[in-house]
Structures are given as C-alpha cells and as structure tokens.
Structure 1
Amino acid sequence: MSTSAPDAHVIDHFFSAPSARQDRWRQLHTVARAWAKGAEKRRVVEAALDEVGVIEEFHAFPGQQLMTALRERLQSDDAGGFAPLAQRISLATITGNYKHDAKEWQAIDASLAEPADLLPSSLGDAQPHRPYFELLVLTPAPAARWPHIAAEFRRLRRPEDAFVYEAVLVGSLEDAICAAVINPDIAAVAIYEGFALKSRHDAPVLRNVLAAQQPTLAKADDADVALRLAATLKQTRPDLDLYLLSDRKVERLAGDPRAAMIRRVMYQIEEPLELHLSVLEGIKARFETPFFDNLKLYAQRPIATFHALPIARGKSVFRSPWIRDMGQFYGLNLFLAESSATTGGLDSLLEPTGTIKRAQDMAARAFGADHVFFVTNGTSTSNKMVLQALIAPGDIVILDRNCHKSHHYGLMLCGAQPFYVDAFPMAEFSMYGAVPLRTIKQALLDLKAEGRLYRVKMVDLTNCTFDGHIYNTRRVMEECLAIKPDLIFLWDEAWFGFARWSPFLRPRTAMGAAADIEAWMKDPGSLTQYERQHAELGAKPSTEALLDTRLVPDPRAIRLRVYQTNSTHKSMSAIRQGSMVLVRDVDFHTVEAQFHEAVFTHASTSPNQQLIASLDVARRQMELEGYGLVMNAIEIALDIRREVNTHPLISKYFSIVGADGMVPKEYRTSGFTDFLTPGLRWDDQLRSMREDEFCLDPTRMTLVCGTAGFDGTGFKGLLAAEYNIQVNKTSRNSVLLQSNINNTRSDVALLISVLLKISNGIETRLQHGGEEARRTLAARVQSLMKDVPDLPDFSRFHETFRGDAGKATPEGDIRTAFFAAYAPEQCEYVGIDSPECDRRLREGPEMVSANFVIPYPPGFPIMVPGQVVTEETITFMRKLDVKEIHGYEKAKGLKLLRADALMHGRGTNVLEAGRKKPRAA
C-alpha cells in the first residue's frame, strides 16, 4: 500500500481495523455503482479495489477466487458485473453469512470458478451453523501454492467436526503479526519454519514497533525466530493457540522453555491431519463450559424435587393461572435448570470439586490468574471477601478515599485502620481522578518514619476508575514493593475486566502487570538494575530522593501478592451480580483456608445457578471472540468521540472530554493528548500506555452536558424518559457514556441523532426566547460549569479514633466509630444549613461523623465514621444539587457522635461506653 494514501497506515491502525474494512468495501460498492451508471471513472474503482486488496490478504473471505473475479471484471470494463459482486461481498463481510453459507464464496459466473476442491463447499455440511474461525498459516511456500494449501486443509474437514475453519496464508513475520492484529476471526496460528521476515507491503508503523527486535531476529536461526514470533503473538493476543511445525529435531525444540507458550510442536513432514485435529481440539478446550454444559444436561433429566425451591422444574409456575405469564416470559429452561441441590451431577459454589471448580480453573487460564473464584453477589461482595481473608484487626491499609463503598465497609468489618489517600481532584466536573504514585509512596515512607511500616498490609486501589482513569499498575506495584517487598495489592477492576482482551490495555490490568513483574524477576538483568540503583541512592537515601526516583525493587525480596476483583457482568456477557476474584499470590497457600472462610461468610448458600452458568459462558465468549469484541467497543467509543466533538451543531452544546482534559499534564510524560488528535498513530497510544502514570480507558466517555444547561442527573433522566437511552454515572455537569461488547454502530447513530434533536431544541428556544432566553441559558451554564464547589479531601479522624496511630500519619479506627453510632444516646443530628452547624465549625466542639455520607453523584464517601467534619465538607454539601445522599437525612441533618461521648485522649473505647447498662431508676 502506498504511504501517500489518505489512510496509509490502515494495516497498522489497531482500533478501527474491522469497521474500516467494512467501510472500504462499502466505499468500493458505492464507486462501483457510480461506475456502472457512468458517473465515475474506472480508475477510481481500481484505486478503491487496490486499497481493499491488501487488507483482504489477511482474511480468508472473500478469498482469491472472488478477488480474481473482481479484478477480471474490472480489467474487462464489466461495470455491470463488477458492481453486484462487490455489493454481495460487502454485504457478506457485514452479516458474516460467509461463515456458514458456501455460496457466498462463489463467483456469479461459473466459468470463473476455481476447481471445486479450492472452494469451502463443506461449510454447510451436516451442521450448517457450526462455529467458524480462521487459522493463520505462516509458510515459506511460494504464494502461488497458497490456494492449494488452503484446499488441503478444507479436504480434511469431516461432518463430525464441531467447528469449521478457513486458512489465512501469509509468508512473513510482519504479515503474520499484521494478520493477528487486524483479523479478530483468527483463533489459531500454525508457524512453519523458514518464513521471511519482511512484509511484501508497506507497514511503516509496524516496522517502528518491531525495529528494536529486527537485528536480533535477522541473526537468529529459524527456530529462534519462530519462538520469538510466538512470544510476540502471545503478547499481542494470549487467546491464540500456537502450533510450531519444524523439519528438524522437534524433540529438542519442544523441550525449550520458551516453547511453553506453544500448544504443540510438530514435525512438519508428517500427516497434516494431525495438525487439523490438534487445531480443533484446541478450540474445543476453550469452547467447553463445564458448568453450563452440565446444567443443560441436568435440565433435560426427569427429576422430582423434595428440597426447598418450589420454583425448580416450573410446575408451580406453569400450572398456576396467576403467575403463568412469568413462565411464558422467561421460558421453561430457566426453571428446569434451577435447583438447590449440590448433588446428582451439580456442584457447590462454596466448596466446588466438580464442574464449577473446572469452570473456575478455565477462567483462571483465560484471565492469566493462578486461581479464580466465582461470586454471585457482585463485586461489592468480592471486595469484602478479599479484605476479610487478608486483613486482620489493626492492620493498616492504604486506601483511595473515593473508591467504592464496599472497600470502606469491608475494612470496617475487618477492624483495619484505613490510611486514606486522595486522588487528584477534577473540580470542574465534580469528580476525582486517581491517586498519584507520589502520594502513595509518601504514605509508605511516612509510616516507615513512624516505625509502623510493618503494620501496613495492603494497598487498595480502583483500576480503572468509574470515569476511566487507568493506573500504571506495574509501576505502582514495583515502586511500592521497593519500599515494602511483601505488600498485598487489591485492584478493584469492576469496570475493567474486558481489558484482558486488548493488547493495549492488558499490561495495565492487575493480572497483566503481575505477569510482567514475574517475568522481570526471572530475568538476571533485574538484579543488576536493582543493585545499580541501590548504589546510586546510597545506604540512607532521603525521602525526597525516594519520591523523585522511579524505584526498582529487589527481585530477591519481592513476595508478589496480587488480587483483582472483576465485575464480569459490567463488561462481559454475564448476568447482573456476576463477579470474579482473580488471584496471583505467591503466598496464597498460607491464606487459602481463611480465604475459604471469607467465602463462607459472604457467599449465599443458595447461589443462582443461571448466574454461575453465565460466568462460565462469559469466559468462553471472551476467549474465543473477546479480542474482536473489545476492538469493536473501542472503535464505537472513538466514533462517538469523533461525531460529538466535530459536529457543527452538537459540539456547540456538548463535548466529550479528551485525555488531556481528564489526566493532568504531569501524569502524561509521553505527551499524549487525546485519541483523536490529528496525526495520532496507534504506536503513540501504545507509548502512552507503556509510559504514562495515568491514561484513559477509551471506552469511557465523559459527555459534558452543563454547556447545554443540563445537570448530569437531569440529563440522564431526559435521555431515559424521552429517548430510550440509558446511562449510569453522572456528575454535576456531565454524564458517563460507556461503550461495551454489546454496542453496535446503530447505537452510535441513535445517540448522535438524539443529541442533534436536543441541540436543535436549544437553538429553537433561543431563537424564540430572544435575549432573555440567552441570558437564562448563560446563567445556568455559569452555575453548572463555573460556580462549582471545591472537592473536599479527607480531613482526619478524631483523636478518639486514632488508637495507636502514628503521630504524623492519619490512619484511624473506623470500626469503633461505626459501632459507636449504634448507641442512640451517643448520637445527635445537626442540619448543614443551621446556625448551629456554623457555630460548631467556628467555635467547636468538633463535629464527628457517625456514619458514611455518600452523595450520588459523585458517589464517593465525603465522610466516614469517626471523621472530623470540616467547613470544606459542609460547603461542598451545601452546593450539591443531587437528590440522593446515602447516610444523610435532610429532615434530621448530619448524624454525629455527641461531643460529650467522645474523649479527646486516644484509646478511649466509646463502643464500650455505649454498652454500659442504664442506671437503675
């Protein structure tokens, strides 16, 4: 492809490859129709076909026969035959009909057809809708032989095969990587030794990415090149099954530790049927859903139930004249697959030993974890399970103050001492970002200076945040481990589970970063890095030196202990409340028993079978098509950003905040500004993901509506009530849009049309209302966008709840404060707008919160039990215009712990004071 073309880097444009392919086919069809009508020149059609041609070499469909037919009709000036064939191919790429209909692969003119064995005629044999995938074959054979090689694979098909595939043949390392990147249908790769390195096509961005490896690759022998390629493919797409075929000593090659990522090493001269069967077996290993498969079999059995679940088998529903409609709505299978039994082929979620255990093990493989636990009560419960299992009373946990409330409640239940750290504020949107690494390091170093570092057990952070801020998880863990090598990390990735299937986002996940750290620890160079830095810093480095240095941990001392909670239902095809706990903990064997106790504590003894099955199925889907689904979700988000921010009318009233507006410049050392910056290439985004302290999840979009005069809550209600568009999170002047694996381009079109209607409505009101209407809108915009309250940071715990905390560190006893409020005589209420509130702020005594106070939005606790209430917090609450504030009753006011119930010396047990027996009358 010529680098002078408008989209010269389309092969390398990671985010939009699938939709760009479809767009190019539509464009080809459009110009072909114009050519057929005499309204377009042949050379325009030829240019469009050339642009499509290179991309199609990395896909099985339309294949050589159809591409040849198109070129021949073009050369013979057959505009009438070219246009309908281009239309049919274009439609097939969109609908996917070619995956089960062999006729889609055939040219209209039978005289142009290849021999029958070169066509995928067995696509429809026996099982017309068998799942379809594509096998990438990297071969040193000349390109003229490729159609016959593909035909050989087709001849191996049998009616009893559970799946059907087509081969995509390439001849170079670069083309293999290109194909894996842009073709999400590729599920397995067969690598034949002897392939070339360079692509036949111009792919400058790809060459930039590979530049550092090329000298080594060029000098290495064939086996070394193949293994390095395998590593690159696995790094890009861990979902791929890899097969290496060699004509040398395959026994020795199979024993190479680097070959562990390869599913099978084979002698390439042997019968190709072995490769065919191995490929199908590999897909089957991922397609299997042990619990779901078993539940389907269970539902087919005639079973009499004598347990406490009347709805099982559905008799009480379908025989009832009053609730039969529920059965008709949900269908019979839902009830046939219900049971409270854990025998007769079913398994127990609390102590799984059968199909649930196998399903969890398969999920661990898919997510890159050592262990996975299914949770049916949402990630709120997952977080509490992890905290109870790992944290004991008195342990210190460094915690993002504005994380999900489940973490705060979990620490309260554990009796831990939270050391609250604040994220950087984004006052203009009434939201917080993420916690700077320097802040976390400062907390650890302060505790070290107080002689309390040994009490610190965990760093607990949200990744990514509700608004899309992603941590540099590897850097955070490495620098924290350099200060305390046995720290445990809990990463709440409730909204980020899908990121495992994006090569851009995966390194920023907890499991992805843990894998990278483990690999680094095994590299002999890691010790050299540590020793060099240790020598540079000296024996007693200053706090400032440690804060200013990117710290390298001692690989010999690290105890890598990483936990990730994952709301599977929030980004994958699981039923609501489906969650997973992912574990990569070198010391898990020492806490496994207490982890199971935490499961027993929090998990229901009657978990929903359908929910467990959906977790099993969600894993299957992501392993087999997650890469393409996530790529589409990112492309959907980029489409929305582009259309909103460039539309001449919509952009007057609405905008989506760029990465530069969501992440302060000091945390973007790569210089990355936004996904749609002119001239951006995907390697720029890759560099940002690799280097920046924080980056932005492209699928999360902050849509500013305050500039249109809408507050977030009101605009959310308008979208739902009037236009059937649902969003979740809001702020004072914005709503959060999320793209996911469920969205289509039709959804984008609906959103844009609705924003246009609303924008037109504003324009009409301003035209009819004149200057008064413009002043009213300007005042409203000023109120929402400029007169915003400052966000309150965590103040401090009252001295009563500081216990044995360090003199210069802010941790406190949240549990005692929480339960002190259970004694009504120890509590009082003060209205935030009352004169008494102002007097207490000026003169005292200090007001101390008796509970959590959580406004929605923004959804973080602005007060926790035992926290001293400050003027900043009260000012923020007074300016809030939200209806929902958990923990606050407007009629009563703030619930406070009474001043006379609080002693100003540390260690006073107000909980015990509240339990004193009342004095006898």
Structure 2
Amino acid sequence: MDKQTVESPDRRGDHFFAFPGQRTDRWRALHTATRNWARGSTDQATVRAALDELSGYEGFFAYPGRELLATLRGRIDGNQSGAAAGLAQRISESILTRSYKGDLGDWQSAEIVAEAPPDLNTPTMARGGRHRPYFEMMVVAPGAASRGESIIAQTRRLRRPEDSFIYETVPVASFEEAICAAILNPAILAVTIYEGFDHQAAADLPVLRDFLATAGLDAAHVAGDDLPLSLAGALKRIRPELDLYLLSDRNVERIAGDPRAAGLRRVLYAVEELLELHLCVLEGIDDRFRTPFFDNLKKYAMRPISTFHALPIARGKSVFKSDWIRDMGEFYGLNIFLAESSATTGGLDSLLEPTGNIKMAQEMAARAFGADHVFFVTNGTSTSNKMVHQALVAPGDIVLLDRNCHKSHHYGLVLAGGQPLYIDAFPMTEYSMYGAVPLSSIKKALLDLKAEGRLDRAKMVDLTNCTFDGHIYNTRRVMEECLAIKPDLIFLWDEAWFGFARWSPFLRPRTAMGAAEAISAWMKDPASVDAYEAQQKELGKNPSAAKLMETRLIPDPRQIRMRVYQTNSTHKSMSALRQGSMLLVRDVDFASVEAQFHEAVFTHASTSPNQQLIASLDVARRQMELEGYGLVANAIEIALDIRKEVNAHPVISKYFRVLSASEMIPAEYRQTGFSDFLTPGTDWEDQVRSMHEDEFCLDPTRITLVCGTAGFDGTQFKKMMADDYDIQFNKTSRNSVLLQSNINNTRSDVANLIRVLLEISNKIERDLAANGENGRAAFAARVKSLMTDVPDLPNFSEFHEAFRWDAGKKTPEGDMRSAFYSAYYAEGCEYLPLDSPDVDKRLKSGPAMISANFVIPYPPGFPIMVPGQVISKETIDFMRKLDVKEIHGFERAKGLKLIRPDHAKDHIRK
C-alpha cells in the first residue's frame, strides 16, 4: 500500500464501530464532490482530498479494486470532472447496493467494458441461472503492494463454471495490514498466508499499533519463521470463523505438526498446483454453508409422500382443499406444509435422540459457537435453563443465583429441588431496575459457605449475561475467582440476549464460551502454575476471608474442573424462528452427567418439535458463520447512531436521552474510568481496555431511552409508539424503555425513530406553550413523579425458618421447593389484601408473612417474592407504589397469597 495515501484510522471508538457505514458515506461524499466539481461549485483539490481520505482503506476491500481506483484518480488528475463524476457515482451506488457482487460491469470502467469481450473470470453471482454467493479471500504475501494485480489475476484464472461460490482477492503485504483488513472487511471469509511478509505496514498506522498492543495482538517481537503462525493466531482471536491456509516452500510436514498450527485449515506446499488451494477454499466455505437438517428438509418437502400419522396439516391437503381455511395456506405458502411431518425417518431425524442430520447440525453449531456440545431447543431458553438445572442440580444442592434472573431459573430450582442462595444485583433505583451481581457478593457467599463447612454443597453459580438492560459480566474473572475458592463449581450463564456476541471480537471474550476457552488455554500454560504458587506464597497459610475478599484470586490450574453451560435465545438476536434456542456445553465432566442430561431433555422437550424451528436454528448458525461478523458490526453501528442522534439533537434531547455507560454502571465497577462510547476523547484503546479489565461493561446494542423526562411512563410510551407510530419495543421500566438494535435493523429504522421522537418532542413543546403556567406545572409534576418520586427497590429478605431446615447461620439459602408445594394445600394458605391494616400490623408485630408463590411485576420483571420468603416492609412499600397492571402471581381482588404461620410450623415439626 502506498505510504503517501494511507491515513491512520480515526481514534474515536464510535468511528471504528461505524466503519462500514462510514465507508459508504465517504463514497457518497466523493460522488457529491465530483458532481459539484462538474457543475463548477467546487474545485479539483477538494475532490482529490476526498479521494485521498478514502484510498487509505480501499486496499482492504476487493471492490472497487486498484484498476478502478487508478482510473478514477487519473480522471481527477486529468481534470475530467464529468467522467470522474460518472465513475464515482457508479462505484458509490455499487457499494451501497452491493451490486458489484453480481454485475461484471461494476468492476471495469465504461471504456474497458465497451472494448473488451465478456470475461468469464469476472465475478458474478449468477452463472447459468444459478445463484453463487460472493465472498473475499485475503492473501498475505511479500510484495503484495507491487504484485497485487498479478495475485488477483492468478486467483481469477482458477475459477470454474461448476464452482458453487465465487470470490475475489484482497492482497496485503504485512501483519498489520492483514489485521486491519480482517477487522474492517466483513466480506473476508478466508485467508491465505504466504511466508516472507513484513510485520509492519509500509504506511504509518500508529493507532492500529496501539490497538494491537492494547488487545494483546501485537507481534512486534515475533520475527522470521514465527510470523505466519503468529498472524494465524491473531486472526483466529479476532475472527475465529475464518478459514486459514498457510503456503510454505519449507518443511510443511513440520509446520503442520506445530501446536500453533491448530487454527489452520490446511498447510500447503507453495510450489504445488494452486488449484488445490482454490478447491480447499471452496470446500471450507461449503463446510460452513451446509445446513444438514434444512437441506434434508427441503429434499423431503419435494418428495411425493403419503402420510398416515397424526399430523393432518402435513402436505397441506387439509388446508388447500378447504373452503374455510384456505387463506391460511395462501398466507404461509405451500412449502411450510410440505415440510411438516411427525416422522423421524425418511431423511429426517429425532430431536430427542438425534443420530443423523440434526446431530450433524448440532455438531456444526458447537464448532461455530466454540462449544463441545450444542443442543437445539424448540421451547425457548426457559426450557434450556430448566434442562440444565434438572440435569446438574440434585435436591439439597446449593445454587448461587441472581434474584433478578429470568423466572425459568427459579422454577427450574423448584423442579430440581436445589436450594437457591440469592445474591442481589446493584440497584439502579432512579430507573427502577437492577444491574448485575457484584463479584464481591458472589465471593462473600462462597466464603461464608466455606466458613460454615458447607462449601461442598455449593453446586452452581447461575447468572444472566448480559442482563436485559445490557450489563455484561467479566465472565473470565468471575469464573477464575470462584474456581479459586471451589475448583469444581459449575457455571450456568443465561445469555438469552447475548448469543450474537460470539461474532464480535470485542464482546466475545465476555461470553461464557469465550471466557471458558481463554481459561482453558491459560491452564495449559506453565506460567499459570507459577502465578498460582506465587499468590499462595503471598497469601500465606489460612488467609482470612477479608484478605481473600480484597485479593484478585488466581485458581490452581491443576485442580480446575472447567464446567460451563451457556443458554442463548437464538431467536432473540439471530435469524431463528420464535422459541428457537441453543444450549451450549463446555464441560470436562460431561461424560459423567450425559445420561441424566438426556433425561432432562426427555423431560422438558416436546415429543412433537416443530420442524421449521429446528431448520431455522440450522440456518441461523450458517448465516452467523458466514456473515455474522458484518451483521453484528452493523447492529453496533446502528445502536451508536441512535445514541448519538438522540443525545445530540437540540429538541429531542430536551425530553429524551439515552443513558450512558457511566449512568448504567457505578464508577466502582468501571475500574478503567470508561464513561461511554460517545464521550469526547474516548478512543479504541479505552474501549478495548474497558472490555478487558472492567468488572461490568455495557452492551452497545442495548439502548435505555429515558422517557420519564417527556412525561411518559415506560408502559404508556411503549403502547403509544406501537399504536400510533408502528414502532415496537419490548422491555420497559417506570421511566424508560429498552431499544435493541439487531442484525435486522437498518439506518432507515434509525431515521424513522428520530423522526417520530422529534414529532413527539415538538408536540410537547407546542402543548407546553399553549397550556400556560398551569400546564407547565402539571408537566413538571408528572416528570417529578416519574423521575424523582420512585420507590426503593427491595432486596431479597430471607427464607422463613420453616424452609431453612438445614441452612447455615450466615448464608440465606432455603428449601424453596417445599414452600412451593406446601402452598398446594388450600387449608395451609391465606390471603391478605395489599392495603389491609393487617399487613402493616403483621409487619410490625408478626407473625411473619410468608409468600406462597412467585410475585413478578412487569416491569421490572423479576420476582420480588418467592415461595417461602418472608415478606419485608420494603417489598410491601414497593408493591404499593407500583402503578403497573401486570403482576404475575398477584390477584388484586384476593390480595397476597401467604402460607399460614401454623402451617409453616407444622412444616418445621415434620
């Protein structure tokens, strides 16, 4: 790459995340500049500067390529304003619409297209009416800057009409350029590495070098023969889905046997026929493109099958031959009915005991998500969570559980008989929501159990990552410090909202599977034992609990049993149908629990799973492996765009604002001092350091929009936006709503949201102006009631002594299962109206009020009462101040359902 034309990327973190959109915007800006030049309203220097701004990065993309860029620059330098404007427009529109993937004319200037015959080697998605997906392959080779065109031509000559895919080549000449290309270009799906390339780019890239050092990807100390393997390792850390190929003219057998070559798909002898490389590249893409179950389901749907099983809707005859429900068939189409069956043979498979294409699909999902095993679940992640609890938790086992987690975890413990030891997350009282559970609270609970000689009963730590509102744990640190106290703890990370994070190099380390992989690699490093021994020497024999609490504990790598389970709602962040979920397993002891795990599957999974749900899980995996990196990057860009536009708008920001990381996470949990993605002066290094070091980070795709300052409570605002503006949200709080950007969103969605918020803000301004002082006072009072007069959030109180029959003195676990089922006896229960004086009397003088069931207000959506819990004054105050209509487990006409005190005493005697 030309040193004079390459510029360092902008240090601003939001600019990095927004690069794909910025590239399009810059090409549109160049087109506008050339058009204005042709019209005489700007000058040649302005146009040349706009092209220079683009050129530094265009070498990392196959299109428009060096030929077109050189042609465009020649027209600008030759003062051909009209011709330059025409070519800039064509390139800009092709990048925006992605037509270059299928239109051969997009790759050449108009003169060349007119003069040259059609080139069968020019990329095109369609050949003979057949769709051929397009991707790009990076070639890292010495001298790529000077012989790039030769490399591109060489790979084009390898194409054959029968190839299922088509690709273009991106040549780079250095380690640094390869990293930059992999980060910035999501179309790169394969990398071919030749030996002999440089470490440093010819151009000055100081920001990239800072980024590499901060992310731990710097290889400046690596030289000679180690550089290709060092690059392969770095690329796998950034984008593990990439297929990597190493071409060497040395002892390829020795290289292939090097442990560091484990991430390479193939090692090839460089002087052999390159067609072998071409075939390997296509095979690698096909390996990810295959969807075993979906492919077989399509074939099944095309077969003439007579069905004599209990599924009348299969084949669609009962629908399309009906005079009364034919419209359903017309709405959904024929294929959905042709693909229905109760059979598990004849090309299909059984979800309960897969041996064929479902088994293959799950194995491919395990590869994609970095797990040892993956189970497809068609009843949602609620079922996935209950499966884990039933398989791993026995009656009497203690589970450290976030009190604010999804209700499926609480119900799972009721079914399994595990005893929850509830630990509270940090409160965000101003917004009527909780954050995440501090590590100090988790460690204290474990150390308290240890002090009472009951640590052996602690089976599992169960946490939500990320939370509904976007709080992300430092999963590696949590697991390491817990394993330092109890080396065989099991971890269940509910990542229902976070499954997409696997495809972001910034978020992946904070996923359960990403952290488990990092810890497993650390355990194999001899330095891990040295680090553990050094800390043990420093701590001394029998260190106090206080000392352990203030120390960042290092586990003994020789004792760790890495047992990690992750559940993700694939349908919540990927292209799967509703209720599609995956259960990911990375458990060194899985063989010992596999039988009971399958029993849990038999217990909770439907014996009639939906074929379309299974197929969508298969397809979702394919999409994420092949384009997930770019899709997630776009989702982050969309989210940052919303944050910026809302908070910077002169009118909207008066009444609405998106909460920053510093508002969502207390400073004590942001050790690096990171404030927000858009804080002036924040750059790549700040964000990367925060992701590596801070106790909690904020998922950028989850956007808490405060609406209380506009006079709306969350439920009211959500309904108005859906009813009046066709904009849908999900979660609300007393004074906010949660927006989620995902792989489905576009910049048009952002524009529509901003337009609507501005319309609402303008209406508020008109109403305030029209209603005078009284109207402004009423508005201020409404805002105050929503933003200031908020109820305190109640922490978990305690289990009643009747349901703590074998609990310790210092730890708050209880037998929730017994309490749950004791409420099945009507004579043992009573009801008290919430506003009854008897409630206040019993709070003051007793006897204690014992909750008979789960009580879950929406919002905030977590159980403020669980079976067997002693109801506290804080809980009653909170319920009385709630103004929400939906409270699961509470019938206002009857009141609180309680376990009678005498019934509880009978339980103690039993």
- Residue 844 of structure 1 deviates from its aligned partner by 1.2
- Picking from 70, 73, 77, the partner of 2:72 is 70
SS at match of 1:190: strand
Say if 2:157 is the partner of 1:155: yes
SS at match of 1:222: coil
- Picking from 763, 767, 773, the partner of 2:775 is 773
Amino acid aligned to 1:756: L
SS at match of 2:905: coil
- Residue 199 of structure 1 deviates from its aligned partner by 1.2
Say if 2:212 is the partner of 1:210: yes
- Residue 229 of structure 1 deviates from its aligned partner by 0.5
In structure 2, the partner of 1:912 is none
In structure 2, the partner of 1:135 is 137
In structure 2, the partner of 1:24 is 26
Counterpart contact for 2:215–2:688, Cα < 8 Å? no
Structure-2 change in CA distance of 1:783 and 1:217 (3 Å): closer
In structure 1, stretches of 5+ residues that fail to align are 910-921
- Residue 113 of structure 1 deviates from its aligned partner by 7.8
Once the two structures are overlaid, the 10-residue window that deviates more, 23-32 or 378-387, is: 23-32
**Distance in 2 of aligned mates of 1:167 and 1:716:** 47
- Residue 8 of structure 1 deviates from its aligned partner by 3.8
Counterpart contact for 2:14–2:678, Cα < 8 Å? no
Say if 2:822 is the partner of 1:823: no
- Residue 218 of structure 1 deviates from its aligned partner by 5.3
Amino acid aligned to 1:519: A
Amino acid aligned to 1:429: Y
1:150-229 superposed matches below 5 A: 150-211=152-213, 217=219, 220-229=222-231
**Distance in 2 of aligned mates of 1:474 and 1:3:** 41
- Residue 238 of structure 1 deviates from its aligned partner by 0.4
Please list the CA deviations of residues 113-157 of structure 1 after superposition, one character each: whole Å capped at 9, or x if unmatched: 899879725654335531000000011135232112101111111
In structure 2, stretches of 5+ residues that fail to align are none
**Distance in 2 of aligned mates of 1:684 and 1:854:** 38
Amino acid aligned to 2:106: E
In structure 1, the partner of 2:42 is 40
SS at match of 2:844: helix
In structure 2, the partner of 1:652 is 654
In structure 1, the partner of 2:556 is 554
SS at match of 2:343: coil
**Distance in 2 of aligned mates of 1:120 and 1:697:** 41
- Picking from 330, 333, 339, the partner of 1:331 is 333
SS at match of 1:14: helix
In structure 1, the partner of 2:627 is 625
In structure 2, the partner of 1:727 is 729
In structure 2, the partner of 1:53 is 55
SS at match of 2:400: strand
- Residue 217 of structure 1 deviates from its aligned partner by 4.4
Counterpart contact for 1:105–1:119, Cα < 8 Å? no
SS at match of 1:902: helix
**Distance in 2 of aligned mates of 1:596 and 1:576:** 23
1:328-477 superposed matches below 5 A: 328-477=330-479
Please list the CA deviations of residues 399-448 of structure 1 after superposition, one character each: whole Å capped at 9, or x if unmatched: 00000000000001111110000000000000000000000000000011
SS at match of 2:16: coil
**Distance in 2 of aligned mates of 1:548 and 1:595:** 37
- Residue 807 of structure 1 deviates from its aligned partner by 1.4
Please list the CA deviations of residues 287-311 of structure 1 after superposition, one character each: whole Å capped at 9, or x if unmatched: 0000000000000000000000000
Once the two structures are overlaid, the 10-residue window that deviates more, 828-837 or 423-432, is: 828-837
Amino acid aligned to 1:257: P
In structure 2, the partner of 1:499 is 501
In structure 2, the partner of 1:874 is 876
SS at match of 1:743: coil
In structure 1, the partner of 2:490 is 488
- Residue 670 of structure 1 deviates from its aligned partner by 0.8
Counterpart contact for 2:214–2:685, Cα < 8 Å? no
Amino acid aligned to 2:310: A
**Distance in 1 of aligned mates of 2:856 and 2:789:** 21
SS at match of 1:161: coil
Please list the CA deviations of residues 230-253 of structure 1 after superposition, one character each: whole Å capped at 9, or x if unmatched: 000000000100000111000111
**Distance in 2 of aligned mates of 1:648 and 1:6:** 32
1:614-763 superposed matches below 5 A: 614-763=616-765
**Distance in 1 of aligned mates of 2:805 and 2:567:** 31
How many residues of Structure 1 are paired with residues of Structure 2 in the alignment?
A: 908
In structure 2, the partner of 1:914 is none
Structure-2 change in CA distance of 1:482 and 1:828 (3 Å): same
SS at match of 1:439: helix
Please list the CA deviations of residues 356-405 of structure 1 after superposition, one character each: whole Å capped at 9, or x if unmatched: 00000000000000000000000000000000000000000000000000
**Distance in 1 of aligned mates of 2:285 and 2:230:** 23
In structure 2, the partner of 1:540 is 542
Counterpart contact for 1:560–1:586, Cα < 8 Å? yes
- Picking from 765, 781, 793, the partner of 1:791 is 793
- Residue 222 of structure 1 deviates from its aligned partner by 3.3
Structure-2 change in CA distance of 1:310 and 1:47 (3 Å): same
Counterpart contact for 1:139–1:194, Cα < 8 Å? yes
- Residue 907 of structure 1 deviates from its aligned partner by 4.0
Q: Which runs of 4+ in 1 moved over 4 A?
A: 1-7, 9-13, 111-119, 121-124, 211-221
Amino acid aligned to 2:294: F
SS at match of 1:903: helix
**Distance in 1 of aligned mates of 2:654 and 2:199:** 50
SS at match of 1:732: coil
In structure 2, the partner of 1:891 is 893
Please list the CA deviations of residues 640-681 of structure 1 after superposition, one character each: whole Å capped at 9, or x if unmatched: 000000000000000000000001000001110000011221
**Distance in 1 of aligned mates of 2:163 and 2:14:** 34
In structure 2, the partner of 1:319 is 321
Please list the CA deviations of residues 145-194 of structure 1 after superposition, one character each: whole Å capped at 9, or x if unmatched: 21121011111111110000000011111000000000000000000000
Counterpart contact for 1:102–1:124, Cα < 8 Å? no
- Residue 223 of structure 1 deviates from its aligned partner by 2.9
In structure 2, the partner of 1:273 is 275
Amino acid aligned to 1:597: E
TM (norm. structure 1) is 0.97
Amino acid aligned to 2:353: E
In structure 2, the partner of 1:833 is 835
Counterpart contact for 1:127–1:159, Cα < 8 Å? no
Amino acid aligned to 1:259: A
Instruction: Give percent identity, aligned residues only.
Output: 70
Counterpart contact for 2:855–2:865, Cα < 8 Å? yes
Once the two structures are overlaid, the 10-residue window that deviates more, 840-849 or 131-140, is: 840-849
Counterpart contact for 1:802–1:907, Cα < 8 Å? no
- Picking from 242, 263, 266, the partner of 1:264 is 266
Counterpart contact for 2:853–2:897, Cα < 8 Å? yes
In structure 2, the partner of 1:232 is 234
Structure-2 change in CA distance of 1:591 and 1:7 (3 Å): closer
In structure 1, the partner of 2:615 is 613
Please list the CA deviations of residues 865-905 of structure 1 after superposition, one character each: whole Å capped at 9, or x if unmatched: 0000111000000111111000000011000011221218x
Say if 2:514 is the partner of 1:528: no
Alignment root-mean-square deviation, CA: 1.8
Counterpart contact for 1:174–1:197, Cα < 8 Å? yes
- Residue 112 of structure 1 deviates from its aligned partner by 9.9
Counterpart contact for 2:362–2:376, Cα < 8 Å? yes
**Distance in 2 of aligned mates of 1:292 and 1:585:** 28
**Distance in 2 of aligned mates of 1:136 and 1:908:** 73
**Distance in 2 of aligned mates of 1:591 and 1:548:** 35
Counterpart contact for 1:11–1:55, Cα < 8 Å? no
Once the two structures are overlaid, the 10-residue window that deviates more, 124-133 or 454-463, is: 124-133
**Distance in 2 of aligned mates of 1:787 and 1:330:** 49
